[in-house]
Structure 1
Amino acid sequence: MQTDFIAQHGDLLNHYQEKTKHPDLHFKDIWITTAHITHKKSYLLEISYE
């Protein structure tokens, strides 16, 4: 991820990181997929839990 995306959305990323630290969550895997759609000047961030 580019630095400017992290700077703009750091709170959201921190929120999801905190969710993965709780011992009561019984997820086997956590997947984070990112994409940068340059012609739309947008990022796609998908977080999936299994």
Structure 2
Amino acid sequence: MPGSTNGSTKTMGALTAGTLVLVTAYTVTLGSNGWLWFGWVVLGLLTLAAIVVRS
């Protein structure tokens, strides 16, 4: 069905959102870590690519 996402894509989106919360909490608590933010950006781009491919 066009425009819908399957379970794995939804799970990946939830993982990306959860990781954003964790990275933000880490940054607020202990200070910024560039590698964490880089990893989150890569994860976000992979999630976005998965959503585009599934559409």
Instruction: State the TM-score, normalizing by the size of structure 1.
Output: 0.41
Instruction: State the TM-score, normalizing by the size of structure 2.
Output: 0.38
Using CA pairs under 8 Å that are at least 6 residues apart, name the structure with larger relative contact order, 1 or 2: 2
Q: Which is strand-richer, 1 or 2?
A: 1
